[in-house]
């Protein structure tokens, strides 16, 4: 269920961003999507049987999405799958460190690289995934609120606070023991992002 919510709200967000930028309600709805994708990356990493295949799969989705992303939004930056992929690499590195304190410079360094390379959501995305890794319940929601408040200060994007609604939903689902398992064809979940961007780009330029 959650993956369908993520895909639908992301589609609404991107339609709003490209074709109806004046309709803020579409962007508000779209804030629901990214926390679900961030949570899905953590859950995928936690449960995958082959992390190397998972890393390569995200990498190729990021590559496949890049041209449609730039064409749809008409700007030069790296799509959000690069953010998810980079965060996945950080998760892997953190698990291999002999001391947790060594993870601090890793996270900071990765976040800076993500910001310099203009990845969508950048360090914010990485830190949100780490919140899902280390916290649950009220602490998770509070952490997301504080992280988003800082993001708003830096990026002047007040609608981002609505993303906390998704994290609240995830925290409630975790409390009641709900699992997050992919239902339906996996190819839809994996390739919806580049496919819908390509369609939006085609419509925009024709």
Q: Give the pLDDT of residue 156.
A: 82
Q: Give the pLDDT of residue 196.
A: 97
- Residue-wise pLDDT for 61-119, tens only, equals 999 999 999 999 998 999 999 999 999 999 999 999 988 889 999 999 999 999 999 99
User: How far is residue 163's CA from residue 176's CA, in Å, rounded to a whole number?
Assistant: 21
**CB atoms < 10 A from the CB of 26, how many?**
18
User: How far is residue 100's CA from residue 64's CA, in Å, rounded to a whole number?
Assistant: 34
User: How far is residue 112's CA from residue 170's CA, in Å, rounded to a whole number?
Assistant: 28
206 residues of the chain, pLDDT tens digit each: 888 999 999 999 999 999 999 999 999 999 999 999 999 999 999 999 899 999 999 999 999 999 999 999 998 999 999 999 999 999 999 999 988 889 999 999 999 999 999 999 999 999 999 999 999 999 999 999 999 999 999 988 899 999 999 999 999 999 887 766 666 677 788 899 999 999 999 999 98
CA atoms within 13 A on the CB side of 71: 18
Q: Give the pLDDT of residue 2.
A: 86
User: Could you give the angle at the alpha carbon of 57 between the alpha carbons of 120 and 2, nearest 5°?
Assistant: 65
User: Could you give the angle at the alpha carbon of 25 between the alpha carbons of 16 and 184, nearest 5°?
Assistant: 65
């Amino acid at each position: 269920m959650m993956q369908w919510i993520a895909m639908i709200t992301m589609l609404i967000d991107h339609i709003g961003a490209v074709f109806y930028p004046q309709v803020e309600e579409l962007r508000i709805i779209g804030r629901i999507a990214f926390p679900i994708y961030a949570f899905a990356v953590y859950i995928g990493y936690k449960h995958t049987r082959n992390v190397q295949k998972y890393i390569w799969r995200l990498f190729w989705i990021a590559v496949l999405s890049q041209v449609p992303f730039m064409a749809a939004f008409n700007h030069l930056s790296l799509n959000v799958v690069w953010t998810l992929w980079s965060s996945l690499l950080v998760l892997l590195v953190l698990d291999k460190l002999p001391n947790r304190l060594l993870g601090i410079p890793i996270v900071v360094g990765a976040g800076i690289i993500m910001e310099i390379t203009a990845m969508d959501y950048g360090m914010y995305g990485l830190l949100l995934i780490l919140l899902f890794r280390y916290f649950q319940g009220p602490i998770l929601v509070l952490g997301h609120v504080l992280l988003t408040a800082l993001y708003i200060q830096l990026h002047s994007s007040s609608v981002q606070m609505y993303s906390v609604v998704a994290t609240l939903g995830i925290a409630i689902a975790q409390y009641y023991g709900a699992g997050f398992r992919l239902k339906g064809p996996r190819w839809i979940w994996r390739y919806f992002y580049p496919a819908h961007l390509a369609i939006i780009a085609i419509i925009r330029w024709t």
